[in-house]
């Protein structure tokens, strides 16, 4: 059996399981490397992850290495982050979120004692959602008919408070506006607004406090670098700088792919690891583009600084003063926020040997917003981000800059073939978008499978790994005589 994987990155490389099962595997990617969205930019000794910047649920990644007969520890060194993040507010408030949940409760007891029980309740809701998901949602895509539900799943239903609006649920349990803003940030992990997503996304803070936040020494890109090395060593045919222009099919069954060079690659199965909004074009179909349904993109500023700003943590979040207004501008007006929240990532090992600090700044931007705005107002977006940085007391980055690069939604769109520059495909607004993402086995074409952050079960590193795991499991089941 032969499979062609369209698009590298984590989901593509996770198909090493196919090679382990004896399949011939051809991996095609439009870029120069295999990183996909988990990519890297380097200059003058400074190193930047330009995709995900932290790892959660490391057990999912460990399982991938085990499935291909390897030990994760032989390839990657993971460092647990504590604190997870430091949050800075316009009013001068500073909140540090420790790794362990009990330590977080102690922090809440000091700063907002009236919210201790509310935080405990939110955690309990997240736990029940997780326990239900791991025996249902994480195992199969929504179009596979469920057999009799496990008894454990029946015990977990119904989950009170899980099906309402996320921000409203947080407000019901928490009185502190500072704590509400921390919890309302978690839906942005999947490119969505807390004011439009279901409360089931409370599973995200539960996962982070239960399984931790981790950093691979050398950067997140080390994960795809390691898997790429294993793929090459095991005989996967790797074709970089090879853009696939069509998925070939006849009579409702895929036959392979066509590259931009005009070459044809025959295959028994095709795995598409890309944005779901781009799939119809590869199949030769016409599908109207829906900008309203797209998840967030971002404006990313990469600074190589001669000196590290004082008190800069691995993960720091500089909140805006009006979170609701920020998300109205992002999703209703589809413009870059007038006062953006800024995420700051400063890994301790990403600067040159002689000193210096690599700093990644990211502010949410609309996916499929007004692209022309970023082409003509890139300097204005940069000014707004730096204004928040200086307002938080982190100093003037421009004075100490040795290297600089910027990523806008336009660049994300071009680099990742992601319409609108959307990072997570569709947003998770409403329970249908959150839980009925495009399936891992395409319903219209036999032999076509899908993986990645815009397919089931969703965005984020562990979900992308699960997506590939589900797709490969279905492929192996379908290929049985």
**pLDDT averaged over every residue in the chain:** 91
Of 288, 261, 250, 305, nearest to 447 by C-alpha is 250
Claim to verify: residue 70 and residue 110 sit in the same structural domain:
no
Domain-terminating residue out of 176, 204, 232: 204
Is residue 398 in a domain? no
Claim to verify: residue 196 and residue 123 sit in the same structural domain:
yes
Question: Is the separation of the CB atoms in 105 and 119 below 8 Å?
Answer: yes
Question: Is the separation of the CB atoms in 364 and 341 below 8 Å?
Answer: yes
Claim to verify: residue 110 and residue 189 sit in the same structural domain:
yes
pLDDT digits (tens, 9 = 90+) for 420-448: 889 988 999 988 787 788 999 999 999 99
Decide the pairing of beta strands 214-216 and 94-97: unpaired
Is residue 345 in a domain? no
Claim to verify: residue 193 and residue 236 sit in the same structural domain:
no
List the single range of 82-91, 137-146, 167-176 with lowest mean pLDDT: 137-146
Is residue 338 in a domain? no
Burial classification of residue 227, based on how many CB atoms lie within 10 Å of its CB (0-12 exposed, 13-18 middle, 19 or more buried): buried
pLDDT exceeds 70 at position 147: no
Report long-range pairs for 27-30 (Cβ below 8 Å, ≥24 apart). Answer: 27/231, 27/236, 27/237, 27/238, 27/239, 28/4, 28/239, 28/242, 28/244, 28/257, 28/259, 28/265, 29/239, 29/240, 29/241, 29/242, 30/241, 30/242, 30/243, 30/244, 30/417
Of 425, 143, 453, nearest to 289 by C-alpha is 425
Burial classification of residue 473, based on how many CB atoms lie within 10 Å of its CB (0-12 exposed, 13-18 middle, 19 or more buried): middle
Task: Tell me which residue range forms the domain holding 242.
Answer: 2-43+55-77+221-290+428-478
Claim to verify: residue 131 and residue 176 sit in the same structural domain:
yes
Domain-terminating residue out of 204, 239, 263: 204
- CATH number at 245 reads 3.50.50.60
SS3 (DSSP) at 365: strand
Question: Is the separation of the CB atoms in 24 and 479 below 8 Å?
Answer: no
Question: Is the separation of the CB atoms in 476 and 15 below 8 Å?
Answer: no
- CA dist., res. 441 & res. 422, Å (int): 23
Question: 250 CB contacts (<8 Å, ≥6 apart)?
Answer: none
Claim to verify: residue 198 and residue 234 sit in the same structural domain:
no
Claim to verify: residue 192 and residue 109 sit in the same structural domain:
yes
Is residue 471 in a domain? yes
Task: Report the percent of the chain where pLDDT is more than 90.
Answer: 73
Q: Which residue has the higher pLDDT, 138 or 165?
A: 165
Q: What's the mean pLDDT in 57-69?
A: 95
pLDDT exceeds 80 at position 161: no
Question: 480 CB contacts (<8 Å, ≥6 apart)?
Answer: none
- CA dist., res. 106 & res. 44, Å (int): 43
Give residue 88's pLDDT: 97
Domain-terminating residue out of 161, 179, 204: 204
**What number of CA atoms fall less than 13 Å from residue 462's CA on the CB side?**
21
Per-residue pLDDT band for 158 (boundaries 50, 70, 90) equals: very low
pLDDT digits (tens, 9 = 90+) for 279-318: 999 999 987 777 888 999 999 999 999 988 877 899 999 9
SS3 (DSSP) at 389: helix
Is residue 166 in a domain? yes
pLDDT digits (tens, 9 = 90+) for 248-274: 999 999 999 999 988 999 999 999 999
Question: Is the separation of the CB atoms in 365 and 301 below 8 Å?
Answer: no
Is residue 177 in a domain? yes
Is residue 20 in a domain? yes
Q: Which residue has the higher pLDDT, 290 or 201?
A: 201
pTM of the model: 0.94
Token pair 């207004």 is found at: 325
Token pair 């001068």 is found at: 92
pLDDT digits (tens, 9 = 90+) for 11-33: 888 778 999 999 999 999 887 77
Q: How many domains does the chain have?
A: 2
pLDDT exceeds 70 at position 148: no
Question: Is the separation of the CB atoms in 437 and 456 below 8 Å?
Answer: yes
Give residue 146's pLDDT: 44
pLDDT digits (tens, 9 = 90+) for 68-126: 999 999 999 999 999 999 999 999 999 999 999 999 999 999 999 999 999 999 999 99
Claim to verify: residue 17 and residue 66 sit in the same structural domain:
yes
- Asked whether the CA dihedral 418, 423, 425, 426 is positive or negative, the reply is negative
Which residues, in sequence order, are bridge partners of residue 4?
26, 270
């Amino acid at each position: 059996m032969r499979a062609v994987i369209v698009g590298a990155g984590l989901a593509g490389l996770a198909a090493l399981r196919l090679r382990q099962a004896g399949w011939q595997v051809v991996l095609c990617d439009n870029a120069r490397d295999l990183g996909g969205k988990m990519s890297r930019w380097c200059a003058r000794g400074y190193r930047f992850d330009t995709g995900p910047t932290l790892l959660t649920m490391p057990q999912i990644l460990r399982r991938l290495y085990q499935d291909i007969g390897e030990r994760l520890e032989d390839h990657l060194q993971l460092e647990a982050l504590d604190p997870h993040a430091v949050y800075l507010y316009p009013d001068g408030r500073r909140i540090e979120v420790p790794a362990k949940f009990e330590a977080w409760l102690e922090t809440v007891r000091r700063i907002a004692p009236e919210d201790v029980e509310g935080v405990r309740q939110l955690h309990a809701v997240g736990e029940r959602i997780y326990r239900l998901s791991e025996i249902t949602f994480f195992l199969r895509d929504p179009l596979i008919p469920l057999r009799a539900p496990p008894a454990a799943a029946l015990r977990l239903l119904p989950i009170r408070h899980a099906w309402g609006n996320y921000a409203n649920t947080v407000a019901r349990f928490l009185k502190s506006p500072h704590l509400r803003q921390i919890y309302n940030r978690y839906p942005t992990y999947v490119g969505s607004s807390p004011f439009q997503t279901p409360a089931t996304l409370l599973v995200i803070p539960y996962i982070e406090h239960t399984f931790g936040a981790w950093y691979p020494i050398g950067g997140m890109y080390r994960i795809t670098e390691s898997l790429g090395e294993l793929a090459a060593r095991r005989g996967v045919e790797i074709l970089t700088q090879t853009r696939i222009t069509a998925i070939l099919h006849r009579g409702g069954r895929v036959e392979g792919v066509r590259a931009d060079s005009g070459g044809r690659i025959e295959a028994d199965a095709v795995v598409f690891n890309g944005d779901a909004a781009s799939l119809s074009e590869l199949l030769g179909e016409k599908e109207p583009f829906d900008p309203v349904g797209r998840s967030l993109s971002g404006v990313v500023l990469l600074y190589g600084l001669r000196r590290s700003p004082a008190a800069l943590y691995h993960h720091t979040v500089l909140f805006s003063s009006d979170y609701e207004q920020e998300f109205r501008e992002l999703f209703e007006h589809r413009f870059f926020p007038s006062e953006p929240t800024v995420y700051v990532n400063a890994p301790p090992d990403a600067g040159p040997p002689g000193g210096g600090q690599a700093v990644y700044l990211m502010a949410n931007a609309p996916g499929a917003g007004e692209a022309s705005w970023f082409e003509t107002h890139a300097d204005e977006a940069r000014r707004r981000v730096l204004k928040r940085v200086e307002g938080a007391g982190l100093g003037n980055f421009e004075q100490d800059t040795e290297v600089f690069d910027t990523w806008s939604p336009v660049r994300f769109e071009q680099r990742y073939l992601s319409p609108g520059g959307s990072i997570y495909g569709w947003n998770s607004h409403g329970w249908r978008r959150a839980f009925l993402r495009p399936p891992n086995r395409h319903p219209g074409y036999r032999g076509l499978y899908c993986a990645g952050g815009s397919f089931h079960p969703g965005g984020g590193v562990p979900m992308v790994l699960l997506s590939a795991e589900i797709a490969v499991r279905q492929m192996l089941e379908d290929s049985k005589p």
